[in-house]
Amino acid sequence: MFWVRFLVLALLSLAGVTQTSSSPTQASEPPNPTEEQPPLNTGSLSFPWSHLRLPEYIVPLHYHLLLHPNLTILSYIGTVRIELQVQNNTNWVVLHSKGLRITTATVLDQNLAHLSDQVLPVLHNPTHEQVAIFSPRALTGGQKYFLFLEFGADLGDGFYGFYRSTYRTSTGETRTLASTHFEPTSARMAFPCFDEPSIKANYSISIRRSPAHTALSNMPVEQTEVLDDGLMEDRFAVSVRMSSYLVAFIVCDFRSVSATTASGVKVSVYAAPEKWQQTHYALKAAVKLLEFYEKYFNISYPLPKQEKDIIFTNLVAIPDFQSGAMENWGLITFRETSLLYNPTTSSASDRLWVTKVIAHELAHQWFGNLVTMEWWNDIWLNEGFATYMEYISVDTTYPKLRVEDYLLDTCFVAIGRDSLNSSRPISSVAESPTQIKEMFDTVSYNKGACVLHMLRHYLTDQVFQSGIMRYLRRYSYSNARNQDLWDSLANTCPEEEFTSGGHCYSNSQAAKNHLDLTTMMNTWTLQTGVPLVTVARQGSRLVLKQERFLRTTHPSDPAWPSLYLWHIPLTYRTDTSTSIHRHLMTTLTDSVEVGEEVGWVKVNVDMAGYYLVHYDGSGWDDLIQLLKNNHTALSFMDRTHIIHNAFQLTTAGRLSLDKALDLIGYLRSESHTVPLLQGLAYLEAFYRMVERMDIPDVTQNLSTYILWYFRGVIDRQTWSDKGSVSERRLRSELLSLACHLGDLPCLEQAQRSFTHWLDSNSTLSLPADVTETVFSVGAQEDSGWASLLHIYTLSLSETHKHKILSALASSRDTNKLHRLLELGLEGEVIRTQDLDSLIVMVARNPRGHHLAWSYVQKYWSTLVDKFQLGSFSIRNIIIGTTGQFFSTEELTEVRVFFESIHEQASQLRVTQVAMDNIQKNILWMQRNLGTLRSWLNQQTEERKGEGGRDLLS
């Protein structure tokens, strides 16, 4: 064993560490190491396990982990001693490891004595990311043992495992830190472990560092020792039982701000020293939201108290971070744009984003950390809940942010994905790391949240809240499945109580309700797609029919799906009553009594249910007339829902486009931001579509129509940050569109603002809500583009930089777009974490969509290396670039490329989503382009007939 020990000691020496003796609770090295012995002959050994999931006969109880990262040579060494409970007799310990150099493996008995005098062989199965350690002396079932491993690795240059990150100071100095991101399957990249969510254990973590750095982990530091060579060793308190993907540690030189909640939770927010001032809003929000969650769940923040009866939790802004944030227990990590807030450069939307992300990650401390899904097929139990709790918590704690205005958008995005053939059930099979990564998608997050929203309305707020409290208490520090949630909500309501609109809670009905709730919710979580409910008036009754809604297949097509049935909690409102009527639809066809005197019916009140509605017969005409005559008879959510449903039905060929366009003809009278922006969003989408397709007559007529029709509301906008959050959101989006459409007053004002800003050497503070619009106009000139790129390299605000990058990517000069993509690939000026967003920005530019797609094809292997197959970034790149295609030729080109990377594409569900999206775009053009052209021509003639020369007069 001499060569192994020599290598380890050499590495320790290189890293500036002198090994010191440790107490038995530390994992620095096994007690009483044996004399060097020759290794066992491994020639006759083969890897003992063939499955992706680990065997269940060994359970880890406690990890003692010691790490020493060297931020100069960008590598680290470590040791781990894992206390094991052996269930069955075996000679093998199988666990996860990926990219680690394991130099020593030893098995110890309960008294820490070695089971073998020989070096134990470590067999590797890279395909399954597993290692197996062979013990010549069998481990006995029912006994405890210790597995001791010495290992080392380079600090990763991506975004997973234990990886390096850098930031630049205002003086140009580059500083390095080391951070972790383990979800879903990357703890195994940092240390050997049993890397599955149901295999929970306690962790005792120690980290060696220089005095200039700070070490952070899930728990607070319990003891710090100064070593002989001047290094510090921080020993953290023992963690609660948790899954490996929630372990985290950071070594950095950050500064922090702190505050304490009413219940004694000390919250600290960390950031790079020169961004310290941008942490104050996050601290205030985190304290407020933590206090809300403790009250709502009626469960204290689920980490143990430490010194002075205080619970510690940290939020850290990491300069290089792929996702938005990560809920590591007690050490939540964020992308800087998701945590830092600068009042002078951050818009109202930026503030809402930061608040929502903090709310999401803090909700995870209960949903995900305290109670973890048993396996990744039910990741929606984590992500759907956290997404929905954003809305519940922020609506209560920050009502002025109007977070409810965004809930419908969340569901609309889910429906967009769910109305494609390539969608999947909320709960889906996922085994390989790539499949697991793909589970973190729109279905888990958005659809999961919207189904929970529907369930909450079905059960009532009180029953829903008490049910999830039961769920959290019953499965604390453990794992759960879908069925466990339904069990916790079992005391809900029988159909007759739901129909009557009363509160529904009946112990006598518990067994029946349990069965009904399970049956009902299985139709939403185990079945693909979103239902379409068609309603038609027949005398005094409303006749109902349900079917799966698809935008890529028409009911007359042979491929139309027929075997779909949901239990739909229908709600509806009529003109004869202010009450919300309820009906549980459990069959393909049904009917309800509404009365002969009813004039109009609006189904799915405030879109509390996750389904679309189609009004047969005169139903749509009735609603069009209602919106025209008295749109406030419906809530703003109902108006928004009607607009969304109409345009979705036009995409599917179920409603004519001119009817949908007539429906939004009332928008000139609309005073609420949400329906106004919803209608405007469809017109903008059509404009960008025909602009990209280079259809000049439709492009010009649509641009002219939008600017004419919305002239009044455009002219009312001020170039400031004044007003409510809703008013500021409208201003930001409306002025951005107006300038993009070439509106002269908009362009002139934006250019003036840009010139003044540049003349001030960028010291002038632009209104944050219009900054991106101003930059985009300024970026169209060579000098403006060059100035923005220079300022981008110097800015210390990632939010500000994102606005600049978006503006740079709006240039009509393809050479500039190509240069941006090159800078993104280099990863110096434009960070690699922003590369996927940059590619999508370029793809959305009419001059850049083919350029972006060519770039993806050329550098596909590089992109996969940077982001990992199945990651959000890879999915974002694929959907963002191919989603701009509208022709059969482009569909063929994409198909050919996916065939050329078949080995990788076959592992990805997102490739089929991309193909479906293009097919949907092609069908839209075939079904609706002619109608859009005719409708615009008609509008032009009508305006001319009213005496105007054109729509702008």
Which residues participate in catalysis according to the annotation? 361
- The answer to whether the annotation marks 567 as part of a ligand binding site is no
Q: Are 513 and 455 in contact (CB under 8 A)?
A: no
SS3 state of residue 96 = strand
Distance, in Å, from the CA atom of 30 to the CA atom of 538, rounded to the nearest integer, reads 81
The residues, ordered by sequence, that sit 6+ positions from 394 with a Cβ below 8 Å of its Cβ are: 289, 352, 355, 356, 359, 401, 403
- The answer to whether the annotation marks 756 as part of a ligand binding site is no
Which helix (H) or strand (E) segment is 548 a member of?
strand 541-548
SS3 state of residue 134 = strand
Looking up tokens 């990650």 gives: 361
The amino acid at 892 = T
Output the DSSP codes for 215-283.
EEESS-EEEEEE-TTS-EEEEEPPPPSB-GGG--EEEE--EEEEEE-TTSEEEEEEE-GGGGGGGHHHH
The amino acid at 570 = L
Distance, in Å, from the CA atom of 321 to the CA atom of 833, rounded to the nearest integer, reads 6
Looking up tokens 């259809």 gives: 695
User: Which is nearest to 253 in space by CA: 212, 221, 219, 216?
Assistant: 212
- Identify each DSSP E strand in 71-129 by its residue range: 75-86, 90-96, 101-108, 122-125
Q: Are 405 and 349 in contact (CB under 8 A)?
A: no
DSSP label of 611: -
| Burial of 645 per CB tally in 10 Å (0-12, 13-18, 19+) | buried
Which helix (H) or strand (E) segment is 63 a member of?
strand 58-70
Strands 612-615 and 531-538: parallel
Distance, in Å, from the CA atom of 372 to the CA atom of 235, rounded to the nearest integer, reads 26
> How many residues are present in the chain?
953
- The answer to whether the annotation marks 364 as part of a ligand binding site is yes
SS3 state of residue 856 = helix
Burial 48-86 (b: 16+ CB within 10 A, else e): beeeeebbebbbbebbbbbbbbbbeeebbbbbbbbbbeb
**Residues annotated in a binding site for Zn(2+):** 360, 364, 383
Annotated binding site: 360, 364, 383
